[in-house]
Structure 1
Amino acid sequence: MTLNVTQPSLELRNVSSSLTGRDFITGAQLYFILLSMSALTQVISLGGVITNVINIAVFVKPGFNETSNISLLTLALSDLLTTILTIWGTLCFTPGFSDAELPFLPAEISQLTGSGLSNLIFRCTAWVTAFISFERCQCILIPLKVKKWITAKTTSAVVVAISISTIGPYIGAFTRRKFVWKFMPGRNTTVLGGTVVDTPFEILKEKIENIVLGLIQPIVAFVTVLVCTVFLVVYLRRSSQWRKSMASAVGETSGGDNSSGSEPKQNISRKEEKLVRLVISIATIFIVCYTPNTLMFLHMAIFPSFWLYGEHRNTFLTVYRLSILATSVSASVNIFIYYNMGTRYRNALRLMFHLKDSVK
């Protein structure tokens, strides 16, 4: 969903004089909130750029023979683009930059090059996360069959299809929102800005896009990740209970002397458990960070007053900025999960930075 936030009244310098009506947040409070969130978002996103570049370097090195490696590489690429565009989009609404006499209008240019595009790319992240979660569920339910149809080629085709289906429709935004040259009387110069084409066809098309791309598509991805994560958590608990009961049974029958025949199965189970824990951690962070965005769009669909020009405009802008902040967090912290839970990733990273001996 592309939010039209290009009007001058949205710039921070004018936010304190906005009409709040029955809004819960005053103009002065909104100014402080947006300024604080913008600064925090910039810092987190900058860190996300660094961490995702590292992730990409680690995932590229071993090649693309494993399906999980392809999916995680795609996730890192998507997160990298999200953080870069978030930095740009946030900068365009930061005092000092948005007020500067630049050859373009930052708030208007950002609509097509910053926040709007960043939202769509993060939806690509949502669907890749959903695919990773679904793939792990299939590996548990049908471990023998899944290896036949989830191959490196299949995974590559799926991530390409996800990218096209989520980012491709963004091209349609250029049919209604366009770059134009505008004369600024106060500055006596012409600058690059944006405009909106309000033909009946374009308005109808955008409404359909908002419903399909802004509401249905991200919610389906969110629910998919949520359901798969719940399944994986249940499986993990049952697997842990089964392993404890088996260890107890072996101890009672053999006096604690574990048979060699049961050891390979336990090793395989532990390896699978590590992968499941990794996926659960990634999915959990996504669910927590994507919840504000999902609730915001659901609230917009149910309550018309919760909108950019509605009675609760300031509250809407606060929640919108919170969703951007949460998105930047989600796109920046995966490196800590990989390092703490992935032995291969940890070894590769330590070798890349020439740190002592790799962890075994």
Structure 2
Amino acid sequence: MENATSSWLESVLSASVRHTIFSVNSSVLLVLSLAGLPSNILNMAIFRKLGLDSSINISFFSLSAADFFCACIYAVLALIMMDMSGLIDIGVDLADIQFLLATVFVCISTFGSWVTTLISMERCYCVVAPVSVKQVCTRKSTIGLIVGMLLVQVAIIATNLYAVRIYMDRSPEGDRPRAVLDNAGTNGRLFVTLLFWGTSVPTLVCFGVIVLSTVFLAIALRQRSTWLQSLPGQRTGTIAVNRKLIMTVVAISVIYIACFVPSVAVGVLYFFIPALNPFQSEKRDLALAIGSFVRISQALSGVLNIFVYVRMNTRFRDCLKTLLCTLCAQLRVRVYQDERTS
């Protein structure tokens, strides 16, 4: 059954179909990555300006940083795929480098899932125990949890980079040079086990926690608003701020869930159909074709978050306007000075 499924997929993904998939998906991925780079730079700059003295701002800043680095990888992968499909010619065959970047991407993506989980769990705890949330979800505890997961993912990346070797060879499809990824020194079983327990399992657990916490927050949102209004001395502004913060977390979580469903589905597919093992060289094109759809959905997640922040967070929106006005003013001054000197 597994071999039959694999053979069927390979027969469907003929050379022309793979070429079309790479051409279309690489173009879409490049657009999304180029949109994600400036948007996440703005996110990091604004949350830094708003202050990293609160745990929620630290988490949002870390999530934006993860999305930024993912966007960088998306851009490189998109260019490699465009070269493979013949849309552009970068002069070097870098097809093998995709598998090296894939490990880095998976680790950063796992880190982003972890941060999103921390954001969701903090809001859930705020709903359940609003009095003690500031004593539990402190700045130090948030930084410790974020840095801890970051170190785990960096260790996985470093292990992979240490074991592989890259050398230049002649491409079999032409005269241009080809970057060959030699992983002969890698213990395949050990590396797959490390990836499984270090990235796949945490990501799947985070995905499940985010789904449950999002459902909980969506149900509790209305009940909490009613409860706050019934308390004596509660200001309307405080209630609105708390409501918008929960709505922001729910929106970010919904975007995460919707955009990561393809990734989870592909992971489950690989788990139950070992014949589709993406680490086998003969399954390279099939793995790249399937992975191109996953990258697009995840790249979309990193682009959409800024719209949620602008819509839900008044301070973020005001800070963004101020920052953009300052950048425009500096640009006009620079253009004026260039015109005077020319």
Per the normalisation by structure 1, the TM-score is 0.79
**Equivalent position SS for 1:210:** helix
1:169 corresponding residue in structure 2: 156
SS of equivalent to 1:264: coil
SS at match of 2:182: strand
Q: C-alpha separation between the residues in 2 aligned to 1:70 and 1:230?
A: 24
TM-fit CA distance, 1:210: 3.3
What is the alpha-carbon distance in structure 2 between the residues aligned to residue 335 and residue 57 of structure 1? 12
Q: Percent identity?
A: 23
Question: Cα 1:186–1:296, aligned 2, differ >3 Å: closer, same or farther?
Answer: closer
1:49-69 CA distance string (max 9 Å, x none): 010111111111132211111
Structure 1, 168-177 or 126-135: larger mean CA deviation: 168-177
CA distance in 2 between partners of 1:97 and 1:121 (Å): 28
- Would the aligned equivalents of 1:93 and 1:106 in 2 still touch at CA under 8 Å? no
* Structure 1 equivalent of residue 334 of structure 2: none
| Equivalent-residue separation in structure 1 for 2:63 and 2:169 (angstroms) | 39
What residue is the counterpart of 2:140 in the other structure? 153
- Root mean square deviation, CA, Å: 2.8
1:153-172 Cα offsets, whole Å, 9 max, x none, are: 22222211121122321111
**Is 1:79 aligned with 2:67?**
yes
**Partner-residue secondary structure (3-state), 2:291:** helix
Match for residue 46 of structure 1? 34
Give the deviation of 1:317 after TM superposition: 4.2
Deviates more, 1:137-146 or 1:171-180: 171-180
> Residues of 2 paired with 1:139 and 1:42: CA distance?
39
The reply on whether 1:322 has 2:310 as its aligned counterpart is: no
Amino acid aligned to 1:116: T
1:358 maps to: none
Q: TM-score, normalised by structure 2?
A: 0.83
* C-alpha distance in 1 between matches for 2:63 and 2:145: 13
One of 179, 191, 194 as aligned partner of 1:206: 191
The 2-side partners of 1:209 and 1:339 are apart by 38
The higher radius of gyration belongs to 1
1:222–1:287: 8 Å Cα contact kept in structure 2? yes
Deviation at 1:86, TM superposition (A): 0.9
SS in 1 for 2:8: coil
| Aligned residue number for residue 129 of structure 2 | 142
Tell whether the 8 Å contact from 1:98 to 1:107 is kept in structure 2 after alignment.
Answer: no
Indicate the larger mover: 182-191 or 326-335: 182-191
Counterpart among 54, 78, 95 of residue 107 in structure 1:
95
Q: Which has the higher helix share?
A: 2
Cα distance in 1 for partners of 2:285, 2:174 equals 30
CA contact (8 A) 1:181 1:193 kept: yes
Task: Give unmatched runs, 5+ long, in structure 1.
Answer: 1-19, 247-260, 356-360
Cα distance in 1 for residues equivalent to 2:311 and 2:90: 44
2:50 aligned counterpart, secondary structure: coil
Deviations, residues 138-178 of structure 1 (Å, cap 9, x unaligned): 11111222211322222222211121122321111124422
1:345 aligns with 2:330: no
Say which of 39, 42, 56 aligns to 2:44.
56
Offset at residue 101 of structure 1 (A): 3.3
**After superposition, what is the alpha-carbon deviation per residue over 1:25-64, rounded to whole angstroms, capped at 9, x for unaligned?**
3312232122111100100110000101111111111322
Return the match for 1:275 from 245, 248, 265.
245
Q: 1:98 to 1:307 in 2, by over 3 A?
A: farther
- The answer (yes or no) to whether the contact 1:22–1:311 under 8 Å persists in 2 is no
Deviation string, structure 1 residues 87-109 (Cα, Å, up to 9, x no partner):
1022112134775533xx31123
Distance change in 2, residues 1:45/1:180 (3 Å): same
Residue type of the alignment partner of 1:72? F
Q: State how far apart, in whole Å, the 2-side matches of 1:316 and 1:221 are.
A: 24
Query: What is the alpha-carbon distance in structure 2 between the residues aligned to residue 36 and residue 188 of structure 1?
Result: 26
Residue 217 of structure 1 is matched in structure 2 by 202
Structure 2 unaligned regions, length at least 5 = 1-5, 327-342
Q: For residues 115 and 353 of structure 1, do their structure 2 counterparts lie closer, same or farther at Cα, with a shift above 3 Å needed? A: same
* Conservation of the 8 A alpha-carbon contact between 1:58 and 1:345: yes
CA apart distance, 1:193:
2.8
In 2: Cα distance, 1:148 partner to 1:303 partner: 46
3-state SS, counterpart of residue 281 of structure 1: helix
